[in-house]
Amino acid sequence: MNLPKLAITRPISTAMAFLALILVGLISLSRLPVELSPNVSLGEISIIIYIRGGIPPTEVESMVIKPIEEALFTVSYLETMLSISKEGEATIVLSFKPGTDMNFAALEVREKFAKVRNKLPEQAEKPIIAQFKKSDYPIVILAATSKRKTTEQIRKVVDEIIKERLKRVTGVANIEVVGGRERKILVEVDQRALVKYSLPLQRVINILGLNNLNLLSGEINRVKDKYLIRTIGEFKSVDDIKKTVISTTPEGSIVRLEDIAQVRDSYLEPKGYARINVKPIVSLRVQKESTGNTIQIAEGVTKEVEKIKRIIPPDIDLMETSNQADFIKKSINNLKDSLLKGAILIMLTLAFFLGRIKKEHSIYVLLLLVGILFVPTKLVYILLLGFVIVFLIKKSLRPIMIVAVSIPISVIITFGLMELSNAFLTRAVPLTINYITMFGLALGVGMLVDNSIVVFENILKKNEEGEPIEKAAILGATEMNIVIIASTLTTIIVFLPMMFVGQEMRLLYSGVAWTVTFSLIVSLFVALTVVPLLSSRVAIVKGKTEILSPLYNIQRAIIAFVLKKKVWIFLFVIVAFVGTLILSKRIGKEYLGTTEQNKFTVFIEMPTGAKLEVSDKVVKQVEKLLNEVPEVEKFTAIVEPWSSKVYVELVAIAERKRTVAEVMESLRPKVGRIKPAFIYFEEQQEVGTKEIILDVFGYDYDVLRELAISMATRLGSVPKFSDTKIRMREGRPELGLKIDKKKAAQFDFTVSDIATDVHAQMRGLRATLFHTEGREVETIARLEEKYRRTFKDVHKLALISLEGDNVLMDQVAEFKYGLGPSEIWRKDRSRMIQVSSNIADIPLSKAAEQIKEALNDIKFPENYFYRLGGNYPTMIKTQKEFAVIIWVILILIYIVLASLFESYYQPFIIMGTVLMASIGAVLALFITGTSIGMGALIGMMMLAGIVVNNGIILVDHINILHISNKNLPQIVAQAANDRLRPVIMTTATTIMGLLPMALDTSEGSNLWKPLAITVIGGMLVATPLTLFLVPAIYSTVESIKTAITRKLQ
């Protein structure tokens, strides 16, 4: 089928077909989800179990963690298993391989957990199983404040209304509330009354539970109906609780709860405080499911907050203090602005080459090109519209629109293909609008005009040779269809080896492959249909542009020189390539890189066992320091006894002179003087991390602690390493009660009886649930505070035996003061401790080398070792895979080129451009100080498919000229001269499309800059070398071939 001829003879049908596709694309654009990066993070499921009675971490590990680990270790697609045992709490975090269907994973986890549930201690409460990790940064932080109400009153509204409503939002996994005190029915028992009436506290607790019931007791069947029998005994008021009969005396007197205890509708002691800019609040931290879309969930939370505001008391103000979606939206908008600026730069570039601009006017075009890079975002759309109008009005500039029209058509239709592929192709990660797909579009915008340029240039040539414009359009497009199909195929084929890389990287960067593929395929059809159609309808001003005239003469002189000094030139390029390989060793390596956000967190770690009031004083000192930092816009403090956090948000990048890292660095020496806290900082990262982690494995925690301390000390002395810490709490001061089992048995006590009774008296146990105002309020029974203040009080705790004997604690127990483990960490069923450090801007590979050197002299006992964790193992794995991928790409390109030219040796002539491009790419990375991460590696991969296009155009033309002219030096020089303008134009449009991204310094720009810098650097070096070296290589190869042929004859 002759597409150009069909398009020209059926113009209305062609227009309607593209109009329909554009309509589909516009609809799809409004439907595609938006996120910063493809969601290929490890899907995570957390299992959190609270154990009544506060059993120590060692018992939690043996009785809870280990049985669950054994049951869950065989779950399908499990990547890692991390567990933390704390006093009365067990947490297991299961991380799954990227792309795992988390709904099926959660189902399997629940099934396997159900098999081990009955093996857990009776004190283990119902587990929380959810798709999130407690340590994840909340996607939304809310603050509830009021000028009239106390924080306790606010907390009541938060617990009863706000939290419950937000939990219903799709994708919300967990909501943590801090600030105010929780409402409880407190039953504070007089110890002397217990002794007087010989009542064990546990009996009081049981009686309260047994007297607060509504039970179905039976039924009566009558002739026509059936009556249920219900026993009603539920508490209706606090007074009902007070009047509960607990016992009777031998004399027959009734002992009610109010006779032995104070019963109050009150609040527990505060577990934490929350403040925003020093003002007390109740804070809600909203965490999403691990694989959820941040923007969609955050928007759902925001919409629900607006609904909640209408139903809560008007004097309570509910506001957002932090929203991760804001950064993502801003980053994507910045990328869109770069994309639009790139489109304008491409249009100006086309005007420069196709607009018949005079030499004296070219300076204005160049000034516009530079100026566009610094134009405010608001003017971008106005400028784009203005250029379109000017190009349409001015006759000499209309040809620009013929080529430029391929940009919006291809981009819009690409959105439609993305949506359709999501609907009909099964993918672990669907295509969304994110920085990966947007980069693919930006790359496509620069490349998709290449096909149109090549076709339009050939149409112009046919028209200038005397062919009527309609015939010239058909012949010019038809003649170039093989060339542009081949160049499109070589660009697309570089993405085929993606199937050989690890799943995480394949899922992460497949968006580039799909968007570039879709946009280039569409641009191919546009070049073969729309371009010839418009060319045949729009009057084209003949005559060559004057701007490139000097370049033609310079090019002839250089080619003549290169052809004379071929050997020396070839040696120079080879030496440059070897030098580039050596230089690449000096460039740092990393995985995903990091993003500059305007947020960071201050972590305040207090000594284990510190009281809330002590922690609060330290946090207030940190708040005072933050108030003095001019870049700080707001901060939210979450104060807890041992570990507190302050979430800090700075003003926008454009409004401050210092980076987040510089602000944190200025605070470090100041917070270092605040004792006894250990205070460190962590910059919030949406993608990547600035922290390197070491997992230290072994069994004995005392040995592990010593090793970790030694390692942390050495890491702390490494230059530019900061905030080095051991991710494990020191032992907690404790009073151990060693029960004398023989003495306890004399009073009919077991160790379990004593432990439960002590817990009830000191901490309190839930006796029952009091239903009021549509919600459940826990009823907590414990001793009055005056009986549980001091060590002496513990010695004199009263244990009431079944016979009513009063036994003091020191009669059946010995008391031992010391340190008990506060938590035990395990990874993949082995005990471990984590040591971590902030490496700031040090490349991950260099940081790893420094760590290995710093820890080289530490002797590890047998079966004790450390591994570099975090992103380091993935980086090493991925870079090894890339070494294989590059060879696969080169082989695939060779196969395509050999098929195109029907030659075994000519593909090598063209593939020399890949070598030239690598020189430019490495130089660009080195000069800009950019590390070789996944972005740069993907850029190099794409570069291999892009740079060969100019070589294809050039070698194809040389072959055509060679048929009628056997003078090699003459034809290679002529071919290079003939193809100078299309080669420079295609290169310039690709570079201009990416230049705004390479120069971008806005939020999120670190994600896409390495890709843009790599491609631009490679093309800047490869293009001139292609124009001069490919003719020389062609001439040399053909001469050798001719000489060999003559000898064989």
Question: If residue 1006 lies in a helix (H) or strand (E), which one and from where to where?
Answer: helix 1005-1048
Does one domain contain both 649 and 675? yes
Task: Locate all alpha helices (DSSP H) within 133-279, ordered by sequence.
Answer: 151-157, 163-167, 191-196, 201-210, 238-242, 257-260
- Over range 19-30, report the average pLDDT: 90
Q: In this predicted model, which residue has the larger pLDDT, 443 or 274?
A: 274
Which CATH number belongs to the domain containing residue 642 in this structure? 3.30.70.1430
Q: What is the distance of C-alpha 798 from the center of its chain?
A: 55
Task: Locate all alpha helices (DSSP H) within 565-611, ordered by sequence.
Answer: 566-584
CA distance 326 to 790: 50
Residue 147 has a CB neighbour count (10 Å cut-off) of: 7
Does one domain contain both 831 and 936? no
- Over range 985-1002, report the average pLDDT: 82
Q: What pLDDT score does 989 carry?
A: 82
Q: Which of 71-80, 666-675, 997-1006, 1029-1038 has the lowest mean pLDDT?
A: 997-1006
Contact 1021, 987 (CB under 8 A): no
Residue 435 has a CB neighbour count (10 Å cut-off) of: 27
- Give ∠ CA 15-21-27 in degrees, rounded to 5: 135
Q: What pLDDT score does 262 carry?
A: 92
Q: What pLDDT score does 1026 carry?
A: 82
Q: Which residue has the tokens 């497009």?
A: 477
Give the tokens for residue 850. 């420094």
Q: In degrees rounded to 5, what are phi and psi of residue 708?
A: -65, -40
Q: Which of 797, 774, 925, 763 minimizes the C-alpha distance to 164?
A: 774
Burial 835-849 (b: 16+ CB within 10 A, else e): bbbbbbebbbbbbbe
Domain total in the chain: 3
Q: Above 90 in pLDDT, residue 1029? A: no
Q: Which of 514, 96, 161 minimizes the C-alpha distance to 313?
A: 161
Distances (CA, A) of 10 to 283, 418, 473: 65, 28, 14
In a domain, 164, yes or no: no
Contact 385, 340 (CB under 8 A): no
Does one domain contain both 906 and 1013? yes
In a domain, 369, yes or no: no
Q: Above 80 in pLDDT, residue 691? A: no
Does one domain contain both 688 and 770? no
Does one domain contain both 938 and 1002? yes
Q: Which of 443, 445, 459, 442 minimizes the C-alpha distance to 531?
A: 459
Q: In this predicted model, which residue has the larger pLDDT, 596 or 959?
A: 959
CA distance 862 to 699: 11
Q: What pLDDT score does 458 carry?
A: 83
In a domain, 294, yes or no: no
Does one domain contain both 607 and 588? no
Q: What pLDDT score does 731 carry?
A: 67
Q: Which of 931, 1011, 867, 941 minimizes the C-alpha distance to 590?
A: 931
Q: What pLDDT score does 364 carry?
A: 60
In a domain, 684, yes or no: yes
pLDDT digits 0-9 by tens, 110-148: 889 888 888 888 778 888 888 776 667 788 999 999 888
Q: Cα(first)–Cα(last) distance of the chain, in Å?
A: 43
Which CATH number belongs to the domain containing residue 788 in this structure? 3.30.2090.10
Distances (CA, A) of 954 to 494, 621, 950, 972, 990: 21, 69, 6, 9, 18
261-267 and 254-256: which strand pairing?
A: unpaired
Distances (CA, A) of 834 to 275, 634, 746, 822: 30, 31, 47, 15
In a domain, 450, yes or no: no
Distances (CA, A) of 992 to 397, 551, 838: 19, 20, 36
Q: In this predicted model, which residue has the larger pLDDT, 852 or 880?
A: 852
Q: Above 80 in pLDDT, residue 189? A: yes
- Give ∠ CA 999-1004-1009 in degrees, rounded to 5: 35
pLDDT classification of 303: cutoffs 50, 70, 90: very high
Contact 282, 179 (CB under 8 A): yes
Q: What pLDDT score does 426 carry?
A: 62
CA distance 429 to 509: 11
**3-class DSSP state of 207:** helix
Q: Above 60 in pLDDT, residue 545? A: no
Q: Which of 592, 458, 663 minimizes the C-alpha distance to 1010?
A: 592
In a domain, 843, yes or no: yes
DSSP code for 433: B
Does one domain contain both 931 and 962? yes
Q: What is the DSSP string of 743-781?
A: HHHHTT--HHHHHHHHHHHHT-EEEEEEEETTEEEEEEE
Give the tokens for residue 849. 């080398």
Q: What is the distance of C-alpha 769 from the center of its chain?
A: 41
Q: From its phi and psi, is residue 593 left (phi > 0), alpha (psi between -120 and 50) or beta?
A: left
Residue 470 has a CB neighbour count (10 Å cut-off) of: 17
CA distance 758 to 752: 10
In a domain, 438, yes or no: no
Q: Which of 522, 691, 517 minimizes the C-alpha distance to 600?
A: 691
Does one domain contain both 648 and 709? yes
Does one domain contain both 875 and 953? yes
- Over range 933-954, report the average pLDDT: 80
Q: What pLDDT score does 505 carry?
A: 66
Of 820, 840, 855, the residue at which a domain comes to its end is 820
Q: Above 90 in pLDDT, residue 214? A: no
Q: Above 80 in pLDDT, residue 435? A: no
Which sign does the torsion angle of CA 7, 13, 15, 19 carry? negative
Q: What pLDDT score does 375 carry?
A: 67
Average pLDDT of the chain? 82
Does one domain contain both 565 and 632? no
- Give ∠ CA 808-811-815 in degrees, rounded to 5: 100
183-189 and 775-783: which strand pairing?
A: parallel
- Give ∠ CA 1014-325-1000 in degrees, rounded to 5: 30
Q: Which of 68-77, 716-725, 729-738 has the lowest mean pLDDT?
A: 729-738
In a domain, 273, yes or no: no
Q: In degrees rounded to 5, what are phi and psi of residue 161?
A: -120, -60
Question: If residue 917 lies in a helix (H) or strand (E), which one and from where to where?
Answer: helix 906-928
Q: What pLDDT score does 961 carry?
A: 82
Q: In this predicted model, which residue has the larger pLDDT, 887 or 638?
A: 638
Exposure on the CB side of residue 887, measured as CA atoms within 13 A: 5
Contact 835, 694 (CB under 8 A): yes
Which CATH number belongs to the domain containing residue 583 in this structure? 1.20.1640.10
pLDDT classification of 985: cutoffs 50, 70, 90: confident
Task: Locate all alpha helices (DSSP H) within 965-1004, ordered by sequence.
Answer: 968-978, 980-999
Q: What pLDDT score does 849 carry?
A: 84
DSSP code for 606: P
Longest dimension (CA), the chain: 132
Q: Above 80 in pLDDT, residue 188? A: yes
The share of the chain scoring above pLDDT 90, in percent, equals: 9
Q: What pLDDT score does 502 carry?
A: 62
The whole-model pTM stands at 0.73
Residues ≥6 apart with Cβ < 8 Å to 107: none
Does one domain contain both 996 and 887? yes
Q: Which of 72, 138, 78, 38 minimizes the C-alpha distance to 599?
A: 138
Give the tokens for residue 197. 């009436």
Of 802, 831, 866, the residue at which a domain comes to its end is 866
Q: Which residues, in sequence order, are bridge partners of residue 110?
A: none
Does one domain contain both 723 and 835? yes
Q: Which residue has the tokens 């020496």?
A: 669
**3-class DSSP state of 882:** helix
89-96 and 78-86: which strand pairing?
A: antiparallel
Q: Which residue has the tokens 């320091």?
A: 625
- Over range 522-537, report the average pLDDT: 86
Q: What pLDDT score does 40 carry?
A: 60
Distances (CA, A) of 789 to 37, 209, 793, 797, 876: 53, 27, 6, 11, 55
Of 866, 899, 923, the residue at which a domain comes to its end is 866
CA distance 214 to 203: 20
What is the C-alpha R_g of the chain? 37
Domain housing 614: 599-728+823-866
Q: Which residue has the tokens 């947020």?
A: 599
Q: What pLDDT score does 1022 carry?
A: 87
